Amino acid sequence: MLRELRIANLALAEDVVLRPGPGLTALTGETGAGKSLVAGALSVLIDARVDRGLVRQGADVAWVEALCDLDGRPDLLAVARELGIHPGPDHLLMLRREIRSEGRGRVLIDGQPSSLAVLQSLASRLFSIQSQDQKRELTEPDFARALLDEVLDHGPLLEALDVARERFDAAREALTVRRQEMALAAEQLDMWRYQHDELAAASLRAGEEEELSEAIAVKRHAQAMLEAANQALEWLETGQAPAREALGAAQSALAAHTERSARLDAAHEHLAAAADLAADAASEIGRFVDGFGADPRDLEDLEARKALYEDLRRKYRRDVPGLIALAGELAARIDRHADGAGDLAALEGDLATARAELTGACSALHEARAAGAARVTAAAEATIRPLALPELDVMIDVDLQEAADGEVELAGRRCRVGARGCDRVRLRLRTNPGEAAGEAAAIASGGEAARVHLGLTVLRQRAQRPLLWLFDEVDAGLGMDAATPVALLLRELARGVPVICITHLPTVAVHAAEHWRVSKQVEDGRTAVRLVRLADEARVEEIARQLGGEGWRRGDAAAQSRYARELLEAAAGERAGGGES
């Protein structure tokens, strides 16, 4: 239940605290006193967009805080944990949203910073707010479908539909993409084959282009390079004073003195390194001389091969590794096109399987809706007829949504599958015997539509079971006598979940287990809303005020007070007889 709701610096609420008890709580007050402030405060926790102008003049920040007790509600505890919120062993949860006149607001859950999205997800499950304006929902296309699914608990069937639809969409997309690939391949295949054959015939090899550059240089300067190599080899190995021998002699001369001088030791190491490098150079030059002229191709052939590399790089705008990779890619494309018929057959099979699964999910949901519609209409009539609508007939029609290009076929009819299946669900009403049934907006008056919406909302909310229901003047437009059944319905509903009802009618207020009065007071030149729990004579006086309207004290106040006391005593007797506190 909601242990405490605190509202600070929000509009006319400087610091307002509501601690509703179990059962039905009534909020009353004069017109314009600020009764709907409580509904607005809960909306701050649920809705994303809040007007900064609601921050009380002179304050920097307004805030709404709700202390929630989730004890005995494992379903709501599971919702909290799914959002990463872990209430303590006492199962208490504090929600707080701050609105700043300037800058960004802040969300706190159990004292820890959180996000507005998390707060919305949680608060929308904890609190349900219904107002007289929401009767417009009756005309919304999806209202009847949502009503049917919630009351009949079609969650598992809807989840199965979501899974089937996701698989079907994925299979259809895969087939579409593969067909597009095949169409593109058919257009590009000759070009791919030409490019592949050209690159394959070139037999490109990484590093060959550099080798060709060197070979061409050697061919062009053969004599001079050979003479230079032989001369260098003679200086290193076979001349009158070979460099390697000279380096070795210098090493030997210093060897006996390396331990006596660090500088000589360093010079000795340099000579050793130089000797090793000279030996490597001699070996490399020797291999050059021995292999000189080994490439049998003449200069013209080498230059032609080098030009081929340059032409292919320029033509395909890739380096040599890129050209080699392109050849492999082209080969894979050609092979994939060759396997296209088999791929299409497999993907078409996957799509047929997914379509059968989707058809089964849609069929199961359609049959469950069609079978359960009568049960829901009977429950709706039983709930709404006592609300001064004794002749009301409720009809819920379930029909398939046909479309020539629909994804599935049910009962021999092609149907399009939407987010919630392929059914069109309509709610029709008949308020007067002998008249034709029709849409709620055309058949029901404003007061009748409000009571129908209230009854249907009760059916839906019984399935959802929030932590608290708040009904904001859902009895508007009703006479005092006609409102009594509404009060009895709310009182019955409050046996399972606490209910707050904001009302102008005394015949509703007397049935509440708790009664709070909202008023406006001016202190130090500032207007502020006050919220006071009423008991005993204070409650009698408030009911008498409601009975007599704004000028009740100018009439027979004593008679109105006696009548108020009688109404309260009768309602208390009914609550006691029904086992309520």
State the pLDDT confidence band at 449, using cuts at 50, 70 and 90: confident
State the pLDDT confidence band at 422, using cuts at 50, 70 and 90: very high
pTM across the whole model: 0.61
Q: Give me the pLDDT at residue 135, please.
A: 66
pLDDT over 90 at 354, yes or no: yes
* 474 or 354: which leads in pLDDT: 354
DSSP-based three-state secondary structure for 196: helix
Phi, then psi, of 253 in degrees rounded to 5: -65, -30
Sequence spans of domains, the chain: 2-140+451-534, 182-338, 537-581
Q: Which of 455, 462, 578 lies closest to 513 in space, CA to CA?
A: 578
Please give the share of the chain, as a percent, with pLDDT higher than 90: 23
Q: Give me the pLDDT at residue 377, please.
A: 93
Amino acid, res. 127: F
Pairing of strands 106-109, 393-400: unpaired
**How many other C-beta atoms are found inside a 10 Å radius of the C-beta of residue 368?**
19
Q: Which of 467, 492, 408, 502 lies closest to 75 in space, CA to CA?
A: 467
Range of weakest confidence among 203-207, 480-484, 522-526, 573-577: 573-577
For residue range 147-191, list pLDDT tens digits in order.
899 889 898 999 999 999 999 999 999 999 888 888 887 778 788
State the pLDDT confidence band at 549, using cuts at 50, 70 and 90: low
For residue range 249-294, list pLDDT tens digits in order.
777 877 777 776 777 778 888 878 888 888 888 788 777 777 666 5
State the pLDDT confidence band at 75, using cuts at 50, 70 and 90: confident
Q: Give me the pLDDT at residue 435, please.
A: 80
* C-alpha span between 323 and 240 (Å, rounded): 52
For residue range 478-498, list pLDDT tens digits in order.
777 777 888 888 888 888 788
Q: Which CATH class is domain 2-140+451-534?
A: alpha beta
pLDDT over 90 at 378, yes or no: yes
State the pLDDT confidence band at 9, using cuts at 50, 70 and 90: confident
* C-alpha span between 336 and 511 (Å, rounded): 76
Q: What's the whole-number mean pLDDT along residues 78-85?
A: 90
Q: What's the whole-number mean pLDDT along residues 46-51?
A: 79
Q: What's the whole-number mean pLDDT along residues 562-568?
A: 85
Rounded to the nearest 10 degrees, the angle between the axes of helix 37-46 and helix 116-126 is 130
Q: What's the whole-number mean pLDDT along residues 217-222?
A: 73
For residue range 293-324, list pLDDT tens digits in order.
656 677 788 888 889 899 999 999 999 999 99
Burial 391-407 (b: 16+ CB within 10 A, else e): ebbbbbebebbeeeebb
**How high does pLDDT run on average in the chain?**
84
| Separation of CA 243 from chain center | 79
pLDDT over 60 at 507, yes or no: yes
Q: Give me the pLDDT at residue 182, please.
A: 81
pLDDT over 90 at 355, yes or no: yes
Q: Give me the pLDDT at residue 295, please.
A: 60
Q: What's the whole-number mean pLDDT along residues 390-414?
A: 90
Q: Give me the pLDDT at residue 356, please.
A: 95
